[in-house]
Structure 1
């Protein structure tokens, strides 16, 4: 027997339909690539997205075809997203921080037929266009007046919008139809595609908007600094229109001064970004004596949040920091460090220790820890294990079957992270499996050491890698990029760590470097660091 409720497919076009119908006058503000601040509304975005749908159909785009975007966060980018997905095509977000060779591989693997791009990236596409033969059309997200000849044959976005009707039927397909495609850099070998469905995106939207997750509502003014090309902007491009929040799109300017200006000018109450963005904002505020008069909450993810950032926002500006974890394969939200009822009863300093963890799973996510023999491990906050995840917005198979079977016998996906889970259900990443330091048969968390070291007042960035040791197999090496104008010593950094980590975790050496490379998603690229330090010999190795 089946239930008697309406069959209402969970497709993402319904999200923008809802936004247009019930809060169509809510504003979307963009710092445009051309320079000026541009204002529009959900109703206008809805109308223009339907025009883009008709333009795509005129180009021959059919359901299931891949249409790419290579663009900053903007209202035009949002229109393109919904215009693509509304007709059952697949929106493939390209990350401009990738190397040209990686972009070529991804575009060819996805068989993209159209690419929407910003003026910023037109030269990049011009350089690789002869290597991406499936792409038939290039659309630059600008008007005729600003269209350059940097990408010959490209069409101005505004001309497409003006040239087509907004009379277009969206949806009408199965909710398991693919909606988005995002490639992950977190795997070995070539990047692998994660093919989101309308259903998975819709369910993820409902979860992220809940009070214990992002907790956003119609009264919020949201600045999504996390890019739309990075795991769906953590779902904000769906959850903001779903609840009627005002959106403030930062465009290409993500420096501390530009971010602060937008926050204050538009009355931003909530924002989300990786830690490096918040470090830049804090540095700007401290240098200029700036204030945050409307910002209430920020979500930080992408890499572990240093304690100094949480304390800085809380103590100096009264802003609450919520730590989140996820990956491309989890749509991306997997856990969030919002306080449970037990944690909320603790004193402020004790609560801080939970804020620094990646957090607890929301409805729709199941976690487990296993050892190398797949044995379940206890939730005691101390036992390290491989983190596995399962849920309706977790990847089941990579695009085109790359990587083969990726789920275990119970349907869990191995994240590649090493973690602990405590008695309160809070998960803490201790390392990527490939980055964990194995010393004397025990594991050392590089992430925990570098997060503490990054809190040193002289440090701009810190990274920890394992270096070969004849007795202990590996020992930790601390690499520090100092703030401009600062000088530091090994001894002062080791003293700063003293008492904050186990004695045997203490790095065997500290090396000061000019640069700590970041990968395409803003995380420290330890593969490059290991290559750079491949000939390094620890002073304790003699």
Structure 2
């Protein structure tokens, strides 16, 4: 047997970080601060990372040590990310939207040696630590840290002279980043990304069939680092030489819209609610978003009026499908290149995108037996080099990861998600797709956003409840029922409706259907019929 002649080089993140700091040294990181915009070059950010890494290894972290963070997407967070992952330490970005008990659970599992925290989250961090037996070194970002006893100022840590002999990761299989699920159905679950998985994921997102990131682009890194490694967007920009724009705590549509315009952002990812607000603002002349070359709606599919509104202004908007367990990407929603405008719109409305190279998908039926055929409907299972086999503290490891998403796969690799297993409505023994109902409602010109959840029914076991954000505020129930008649099976039409100002979201930006079901059960909604 002939053996290959290729060099055996480990796929560790220090190699990507070195590439960005040398080949793209002059490219910029723009970060929103309390005092306005701050700009650093890639070379300057990398130097700060070396200084912080030197301090971490000398003062706080042993080999294999964990650095937890509780920060916004700000330059100090990027510096900490690079410092830890380039020297073989493990980064655990904590989710500030979780409560103290949930973050205490996270801290107790990862047991960090250091926690780097923004001063605006310091008390929140201490509340979580108070529920554990841990006493990590606290490094605080921001001048108020000067008045806090027993903590290290971030500015002092990065004032350390950088060592020329910093440790480096030795294996691509080493742990690099620990990400946690949102914890909406039990305690948050931890997924440990290896150097190899992030290395490969960062490469694939730069390709044209995913984000298409290049040296001339400017990326708005609005996906939090604690959420799926920020979908690897900062690292993808770093290796491609794309300028990075970090919004800090300024996550409202007015602030993000102004930042997109001022920084001439080309790529941005956010939830559909954000893009709804920004589109309306653009239509009213409050902001110019024409620099955008690609908008990705994460968390849920963008409604039809949102797709049409952006595309009418020359900005493609697509959806992506992924999860914490796959560093955020399984499929990306570019329509087929040869499709005309109407066909493209149908693809955008119907599919969560085409499976990206490296990810394999199969459909499993109710009896957990593989279902052949293009339209076999069942739960999606995935595997690939950036897909987890399990969770921290849970011994079971799977060759295929069960996603909890239900749908079918087309012959040309497009994913149609018809529901989440936990959100499917079983009415009289038959299934109703909450996602299909939502899509049909959102084609109505007066519907801004809709969410459908299962509620108990004495006769049918479960029936759909429709929660609608309407342009005029009031929900015209008879009109929406009429609208659905030609778009979904007649028996799917909800009997109960709620007019709502906004759809509640999880910490990951997805519709919080568990919260909606609880609110209905508690009588918090005024139900229309």
Q: Place the TM-score, normalised by the shorter chain, in its bin.
A: over 0.9
Aligned position for 1:353: 346
Distance in 2, Cα, partners of 1:124 & 1:52: 23
| Residue aligning to 2:458 | 470
Aligned partners of 2:183 and 2:431: how far apart in 1?
A: 21
Match of 1:278?
A: 275
Q: After the TM superposition, which residues 36-75 of structure 1 pair with which residues of structure 2 at under 5 Å, given as runs? A: 36-75=36-75
Q: Distance in 1 between matches of 2:522 and 2:462?
A: 14
Distance 1:290 1:165, change over 3 A: closer
Q: Note if 1:374 corresponds to 2:359.
A: no
Could you tell me which residue of structure 2 aligns to residue 414 of structure 1? 402
In the TM superposition, what whole-angstrom CA distance separates every residue of 1:474-518 from its partner, at most 9, and x where no partner exists?
2211012445x6222322332343423232221122122455421
Q: Provide the C-alpha distance between the structure 2 equivalents of 1:431 and 1:74, rounded to a whole number of angstroms.
A: 35
**How far is 1:345 from its partner?**
2.1
Match of 1:392 in 2: 385
**How many Å apart are 1:537 and its aligned residue?**
13
Partner of 1:139: 139
Residue of structure 2 equivalent to 1:497: 484
Q: Which moved more, 1:176-185 or 1:431-440?
A: 431-440
**Equivalent residue number for residue 414 of structure 2:** 426
- Give, in angstroms, the shift of residue 186 of structure 1: 6.2
How far is 1:290 from its partner? 3.0
For residues 457 and 475 of structure 2, the distance between their equivalents in structure 1, rounded to whole angstroms, comes to 25
Residues 141-176 of structure 1 deviation map (CA, whole Å, 9 limit, x = unaligned): 23x4x5364x54222211110123253435241110
My pick for the range that moved more, 101-110 or 492-501, is 492-501
- Taking the aligned partners of 2:328 and 2:269, their CA distance within structure 1 comes to 13
| Aligned length, in residue pairs | 526
Residues 448-492 of structure 1 show CA distances to partners (whole Å, capped at 9, x for unaligned) of 222443454554542111122334332211012445x62223223
Pair 1:319-2:315 in alignment: yes
- 1:506 alignment partner in structure 2: 493
Aligned counterparts of 1:537 and 1:321: Cα–Cα separation in 2: 35
Q: What are the equivalent positions in structure 2 for 1:235-274 lying under 5 Å apart? A: 235-274=232-271
Q: How far apart in 1 are the matches of 2:45 and 2:215?
A: 17
Cα 1:172–1:64 shift into 2, 3 Å: closer
In the alignment, structure 2 segments of 5+ residues that lack a partner are none
Counterpart contact for 2:407–2:419, Cα < 8 Å: yes
Kindly indicate whether the alpha-carbon contact (under 8 Å) linking 2:303 and 2:449 is maintained by their aligned counterparts in 1. Answer: no
C-alpha contact (below 8 Å) 1:231/1:328 kept by paired residues: yes
Provide closer, same or farther for how the CA distance between residues 38 and 212 of structure 1 changes in structure 2, counting only shifts above 3 A. same
In structure 1, C-alpha distance between the alignment counterparts of 2:323 and 2:183, rounded to whole Å: 8
Contact 1:220 1:269 in 2 (8 A): yes
TM-score (norm 1): 0.91
Q: Report if the CA contact (8 A) 1:16-1:42 is conserved.
A: no
Residues in 2 aligned to 1:75 and 1:13: alpha-carbon distance in whole angstroms: 18
**TM-score normalized with structure 2 length:** 0.94
- Asked whether the equivalents of residues 473 and 499 of structure 2 are also in contact (C-alpha less than 8 Å), the reply is no
CA–CA distance in 2 between the matches of 1:478 and 1:434? 17
**In 1, are the aligned partners of 2:86 and 2:169 still within 8 Å (CA)?**
no
For each residue in 1:83-138, what CA deviation from the matched residue of structure 2 results, as whole angstroms up to 9, or x when unmatched? 01122111001111111211111111211221111222112123333223324211
Q: Against the structure 1 CA distance between its residues 206 and 379, is the aligned structure 2 distance closer, same or farther, given a 3 Å change threshold?
A: farther
- 1:352 and 1:420 map into 2 onto residues whose CA distance is 19
How well do the aligned residues superpose, as a CA RMSD in angstroms?
Answer: 2.4
Structure 1 residues 235 and 86, CA gap change in structure 2 (3 angstroms): same
Counterparts of 1:280 and 1:135 in 2: how far apart (Å)?
Answer: 42
Question: CA separation in 2, counterparts of 1:344 and 1:512?
Answer: 39
Given that 2:173 and 2:195 are in contact with CA atoms closer than 8 Å, whether structure 1 keeps it comes out as yes
Specify whether residues 379 and 252 from structure 1 end up closer, same or farther in structure 2 by C-alpha distance, changes over 3 A only.
farther
- Confirm whether residue 99 of structure 1 aligns to residue 102 of structure 2: no
Q: Find the aligned partners of 2:135 and 2:303 in 1 and give their Cα distance.
A: 42
Q: Which runs of 5+ in 1 are unaligned?
A: none
Asked whether the equivalents of residues 145 and 153 of structure 2 are also in contact (C-alpha less than 8 Å), the reply is yes
Indicate the SS of the match to 2:47.
helix
**The one of 335, 351, 361 aligned to 2:331:** 335
- Determine helix, strand or coil for the equivalent of 1:147: helix
Greater than 6 Å deviation, 4+ residue runs: 535-538
